[in-house]
Structure 1
Protein backbone atom coordinates (compact mmCIF):
# COMPACT_ATOMS: atom_id res chain seq x y z
CA UNK A 1 0.00 0.00 0.00
CA UNK A 2 1.46 3.34 -0.97
CA UNK A 3 0.90 6.64 0.74
CA UNK A 4 -0.52 9.44 -1.34
CA UNK A 5 2.08 11.93 -2.50
CA UNK A 6 1.77 15.26 -0.77
CA UNK A 7 2.83 18.39 -2.58
CA UNK A 8 6.31 19.42 -1.52
CA UNK A 9 6.34 22.56 0.55
CA UNK A 10 9.12 24.94 -0.36
CA UNK A 11 11.78 24.96 2.35
CA UNK A 12 12.80 28.29 3.78
CA UNK A 13 16.13 29.37 2.37
CA UNK A 14 18.98 28.93 4.82
CA UNK A 15 20.25 32.22 6.20
CA UNK A 16 23.94 32.85 5.70
CA UNK A 17 26.07 32.19 8.79
CA UNK A 18 27.36 35.76 8.93
CA UNK A 19 23.85 37.22 9.20
CA UNK A 20 22.73 34.91 11.99
CA UNK A 21 23.10 36.41 15.47
CA UNK A 22 25.52 34.43 17.58
CA UNK A 23 26.57 34.44 21.22
CA UNK A 24 30.20 35.33 20.50
CA UNK A 25 31.00 38.77 19.11
CA UNK A 26 32.60 39.10 15.70
CA UNK A 27 36.37 39.03 15.57
CA UNK A 28 37.75 42.44 16.45
CA UNK A 29 34.43 43.66 17.88
CA UNK A 30 34.27 45.03 21.42
CA UNK A 31 33.00 42.59 24.01
CA UNK A 32 30.46 43.73 26.54
CA UNK A 33 31.99 44.17 29.98
CA UNK A 34 31.22 41.40 32.48
CA UNK A 35 29.18 42.53 35.44
CA UNK A 36 31.21 41.42 38.45
CA UNK A 37 30.57 41.76 42.14
CA UNK A 38 33.35 43.48 44.08
CA UNK A 39 34.36 40.40 46.10
CA UNK A 40 35.96 37.17 44.91
CA UNK A 41 38.28 34.27 45.70
CA UNK A 42 41.89 33.89 44.54
CA UNK A 43 42.90 30.23 44.27
CA UNK A 44 46.70 29.93 44.28
CA UNK A 45 48.19 26.53 43.49
CA UNK A 46 51.94 26.55 44.09
CA UNK A 47 53.64 23.38 42.91
CA UNK A 48 57.37 22.69 42.85
CA UNK A 49 57.49 23.45 39.10
CA UNK A 50 54.89 26.15 38.48
CA UNK A 51 52.38 28.53 40.03
CA UNK A 52 48.73 28.68 38.93
CA UNK A 53 46.36 31.40 40.06
CA UNK A 54 42.64 31.56 39.31
CA UNK A 55 40.42 34.41 40.48
CA UNK A 56 36.73 33.54 40.71
CA UNK A 57 33.61 35.23 41.97
CA UNK A 58 31.98 33.90 45.13
CA UNK A 59 29.92 31.40 43.10
CA UNK A 60 33.04 29.89 41.52
CA UNK A 61 32.82 31.39 38.02
CA UNK A 62 36.30 32.15 36.68
CA UNK A 63 37.05 35.85 36.16
CA UNK A 64 40.76 35.63 35.30
CA UNK A 65 43.60 33.17 35.50
CA UNK A 66 47.33 33.19 35.17
CA UNK A 67 50.40 31.05 35.54
CA UNK A 68 54.14 31.51 35.48
CA UNK A 69 54.17 29.91 32.02
CA UNK A 70 51.50 32.31 30.74
CA UNK A 71 53.60 35.20 32.07
CA UNK A 72 56.42 34.13 29.74
CA UNK A 73 58.68 32.06 32.00
CA UNK A 74 59.98 28.68 30.85
CA UNK A 75 61.60 25.71 32.51
CA UNK A 76 63.06 26.08 35.99
CA UNK A 77 62.36 29.85 35.99
CA UNK A 78 58.64 29.11 36.41
CA UNK A 79 59.22 27.92 39.97
CA UNK A 80 60.80 31.18 41.20
CA UNK A 81 59.08 33.69 43.50
CA UNK A 82 59.62 36.42 40.88
CA UNK A 83 57.64 34.43 38.30
CA UNK A 84 54.86 34.02 40.87
CA UNK A 85 54.84 37.79 41.45
CA UNK A 86 54.55 38.60 37.75
CA UNK A 87 51.80 35.99 37.19
CA UNK A 88 49.77 37.20 40.18
CA UNK A 89 50.11 40.87 39.15
CA UNK A 90 48.86 40.12 35.63
CA UNK A 91 45.93 38.08 36.92
CA UNK A 92 45.04 40.64 39.60
CA UNK A 93 45.11 43.54 37.13
CA UNK A 94 42.79 41.66 34.78
CA UNK A 95 40.33 40.97 37.63
CA UNK A 96 40.43 44.60 38.81
CA UNK A 97 39.56 45.79 35.30
CA UNK A 98 36.40 43.68 35.59
CA UNK A 99 35.45 45.40 38.86
CA UNK A 100 36.89 43.15 41.57
CA UNK A 101 38.13 45.02 44.65
CA UNK A 102 38.33 42.54 47.56
CA UNK A 103 39.64 38.99 47.50
CA UNK A 104 39.78 35.96 49.80
CA UNK A 105 42.98 33.97 49.15
CA UNK A 106 43.14 30.17 49.21
CA UNK A 107 46.68 28.79 48.91
CA UNK A 108 47.45 25.18 48.07
CA UNK A 109 50.77 23.40 47.67
CA UNK A 110 54.38 23.61 48.85
CA UNK A 111 55.80 25.87 46.11
CA UNK A 112 58.21 28.74 46.59
CA UNK A 113 55.93 31.47 45.22
CA UNK A 114 53.11 31.31 47.76
CA UNK A 115 53.88 34.44 49.79
CA UNK A 116 55.11 36.51 46.86
CA UNK A 117 51.88 35.82 44.93
CA UNK A 118 49.77 37.08 47.85
CA UNK A 119 51.94 40.20 48.17
CA UNK A 120 51.61 40.82 44.44
CA UNK A 121 47.80 40.68 44.62
CA UNK A 122 47.89 43.26 47.41
CA UNK A 123 50.35 45.50 45.54
CA UNK A 124 48.08 45.62 42.49
CA UNK A 125 45.36 47.15 44.65
CA UNK A 126 43.18 44.20 45.64
CA UNK A 127 42.24 44.13 49.33
CA UNK A 128 43.14 40.73 50.81
CA UNK A 129 40.28 39.89 53.18
CA UNK A 130 41.52 36.49 54.36
CA UNK A 131 44.20 33.89 53.67
CA UNK A 132 43.50 30.17 54.01
CA UNK A 133 45.88 27.27 53.46
CA UNK A 134 43.89 24.48 51.79
CA UNK A 135 46.82 22.14 51.13
CA UNK A 136 45.56 18.56 51.44
CA UNK A 137 47.37 16.70 54.22
CA UNK A 138 47.39 12.89 54.00
CA UNK A 139 46.59 10.80 57.05
CA UNK A 140 49.32 8.32 56.05
CA UNK A 141 48.01 7.87 52.51
CA UNK A 142 50.24 7.40 49.46
CA UNK A 143 53.96 6.81 49.82
CA UNK A 144 55.87 10.05 49.12
CA UNK A 145 58.49 10.24 46.37
CA UNK A 146 62.01 9.11 47.27
CA UNK A 147 64.56 11.67 48.39
CA UNK A 148 66.87 12.94 45.65
CA UNK A 149 70.55 12.05 45.82
CA UNK A 150 72.35 14.82 43.98
Structure 2
Protein backbone atom coordinates (compact mmCIF):
# COMPACT_ATOMS: atom_id res chain seq x y z
CA UNK A 1 0.00 0.00 0.00
CA UNK A 2 1.35 3.39 -0.99
CA UNK A 3 1.24 6.22 1.50
CA UNK A 4 -0.40 9.43 0.33
CA UNK A 5 1.57 12.64 0.39
CA UNK A 6 0.25 15.56 2.36
CA UNK A 7 -0.41 18.50 0.09
CA UNK A 8 -0.42 21.95 1.62
CA UNK A 9 -3.04 24.28 0.26
CA UNK A 10 -1.79 27.65 -0.88
CA UNK A 11 -3.45 30.50 0.95
CA UNK A 12 -3.86 33.63 -1.11
CA UNK A 13 -3.72 36.97 0.62
CA UNK A 14 -6.65 39.27 0.00
CA UNK A 15 -5.65 42.17 -2.16
CA UNK A 16 -6.24 45.58 -0.69
CA UNK A 17 -8.40 47.42 -3.18
CA UNK A 18 -8.09 51.18 -3.26
CA UNK A 19 -11.62 52.55 -3.64
CA UNK A 20 -11.55 56.20 -2.49
CA UNK A 21 -15.21 56.97 -3.33
CA UNK A 22 -18.13 54.62 -2.76
CA UNK A 23 -21.86 54.28 -2.29
CA UNK A 24 -23.77 52.80 0.62
CA UNK A 25 -27.23 51.34 0.08
CA UNK A 26 -29.35 50.91 3.22
CA UNK A 27 -32.45 48.74 2.75
CA UNK A 28 -34.45 48.84 5.95
CA UNK A 29 -37.54 46.66 6.31
CA UNK A 30 -39.69 45.84 9.31
CA UNK A 31 -37.79 42.54 9.73
CA UNK A 32 -34.14 43.39 8.99
CA UNK A 33 -31.69 46.04 7.79
CA UNK A 34 -29.34 45.21 4.91
CA UNK A 35 -26.37 47.49 4.21
CA UNK A 36 -24.50 47.15 0.90
CA UNK A 37 -21.19 48.89 0.16
CA UNK A 38 -20.45 49.44 -3.55
CA UNK A 39 -18.05 51.40 -5.71
CA UNK A 40 -19.24 54.25 -7.93
CA UNK A 41 -20.07 51.85 -10.79
CA UNK A 42 -22.35 49.79 -8.53
CA UNK A 43 -20.08 46.75 -8.10
CA UNK A 44 -20.67 45.25 -4.65
CA UNK A 45 -17.61 45.39 -2.41
CA UNK A 46 -19.18 44.09 0.80
CA UNK A 47 -22.47 43.81 2.66
CA UNK A 48 -23.78 43.30 6.16
CA UNK A 49 -27.12 42.93 7.92
CA UNK A 50 -28.66 42.21 11.28
CA UNK A 51 -28.87 38.52 10.42
CA UNK A 52 -25.29 38.47 9.11
CA UNK A 53 -24.06 39.77 12.48
CA UNK A 54 -25.72 36.81 14.20
CA UNK A 55 -29.13 38.00 15.34
CA UNK A 56 -32.23 35.93 14.64
CA UNK A 57 -35.93 36.69 14.56
CA UNK A 58 -37.20 40.01 15.87
CA UNK A 59 -33.73 41.10 17.06
CA UNK A 60 -32.64 41.59 13.43
CA UNK A 61 -35.11 44.47 13.11
CA UNK A 62 -33.65 46.50 16.00
CA UNK A 63 -31.70 49.72 15.63
CA UNK A 64 -28.83 48.22 17.64
CA UNK A 65 -28.27 45.35 15.19
CA UNK A 66 -28.25 47.83 12.29
CA UNK A 67 -25.68 49.96 14.12
CA UNK A 68 -23.42 46.95 14.70
CA UNK A 69 -23.68 45.98 11.02
CA UNK A 70 -22.74 49.56 10.08
CA UNK A 71 -19.71 49.55 12.40
CA UNK A 72 -18.53 46.30 10.81
CA UNK A 73 -18.74 47.89 7.34
CA UNK A 74 -16.98 51.07 8.54
CA UNK A 75 -14.00 49.02 9.73
CA UNK A 76 -13.93 47.13 6.43
CA UNK A 77 -14.23 50.29 4.30
CA UNK A 78 -11.33 51.93 6.13
CA UNK A 79 -8.99 48.95 6.41
CA UNK A 80 -9.56 47.00 3.20
CA UNK A 81 -10.76 49.65 0.72
CA UNK A 82 -9.17 52.88 2.09
CA UNK A 83 -12.44 54.70 1.48
CA UNK A 84 -12.46 58.48 1.94
CA UNK A 85 -15.86 59.64 0.63
CA UNK A 86 -19.26 58.00 0.61
CA UNK A 87 -22.79 58.77 -0.57
CA UNK A 88 -25.70 57.08 1.21
CA UNK A 89 -28.93 55.86 -0.43
CA UNK A 90 -31.59 54.84 2.07
CA UNK A 91 -34.73 52.84 1.29
CA UNK A 92 -37.59 51.46 3.36
CA UNK A 93 -39.61 52.14 6.53
CA UNK A 94 -37.61 50.19 9.15
CA UNK A 95 -35.89 51.24 12.38
CA UNK A 96 -32.35 50.70 11.11
CA UNK A 97 -32.03 53.67 8.76
CA UNK A 98 -31.13 56.40 11.23
CA UNK A 99 -28.51 54.50 13.29
CA UNK A 100 -26.67 53.45 10.11
CA UNK A 101 -26.54 57.03 8.81
CA UNK A 102 -25.43 58.35 12.22
CA UNK A 103 -22.69 55.71 12.45
CA UNK A 104 -21.25 56.68 9.07
CA UNK A 105 -21.48 60.40 9.86
CA UNK A 106 -19.48 59.83 13.05
CA UNK A 107 -16.80 57.84 11.25
CA UNK A 108 -13.65 59.21 9.53
CA UNK A 109 -15.31 58.60 6.14
CA UNK A 110 -16.76 61.83 4.70
CA UNK A 111 -20.47 61.51 3.82
CA UNK A 112 -21.05 63.58 0.67
CA UNK A 113 -24.81 63.06 0.25
CA UNK A 114 -27.75 61.30 1.86
CA UNK A 115 -30.73 60.42 -0.36
CA UNK A 116 -34.03 58.74 0.42
CA UNK A 117 -34.85 56.47 -2.53
CA UNK A 118 -37.89 54.74 -1.03
CA UNK A 119 -40.12 53.63 -3.93
CA UNK A 120 -43.42 55.51 -4.01
CA UNK A 121 -46.31 54.69 -6.34
CA UNK A 122 -47.57 57.38 -8.75
CA UNK A 123 -51.07 56.16 -7.88
CA UNK A 124 -50.41 52.47 -8.53
CA UNK A 125 -52.96 49.70 -8.15
CA UNK A 126 -56.28 49.94 -6.39
CA UNK A 127 -56.32 49.24 -2.65
CA UNK A 128 -58.00 46.15 -1.25
CA UNK A 129 -61.62 46.62 -0.25
CA UNK A 130 -62.40 46.99 3.45
CA UNK A 131 -64.16 43.90 4.78
CA UNK A 132 -67.73 44.38 5.93
CA UNK A 133 -68.77 43.42 9.44
TM-score by length of 1: 0.73
Work out whether 1:70 is the aligned partner of 2:60.
no
Q: State the structure with more CA Rg.
A: 1
For 1:1-150, what aligned pairs fall within 5 Å after superposition?
Answer: 28-36=11-19, 38-97=20-79, 98-142=81-125
> CA, structure 1 residues 33+145, in 2 after alignment: closer, same or farther (shift >3 Å)?
farther
Q: Which has the higher helix share?
A: 2
How well do the aligned residues superpose, as a CA RMSD in angstroms? 2.2
In 1: Cα distance, 2:55 partner to 2:104 partner? 19
Q: Which runs of 4+ in 1 moved over 6 A?
A: none
**Structure 1: 5+ residue stretches without partners:** 1-17, 19-25
Gaps of 5+ in 2: 1-6
Q: How many residues align?
A: 122
Structure-2-length-normalised TM-score: 0.82
Tell which has more relative contact order, 1 or 2 (C-alpha 8 A, sep 6+). 2
Question: Any conservation in 1 of the 2:18–2:83 contact (CA below 8 Å)?
Answer: no
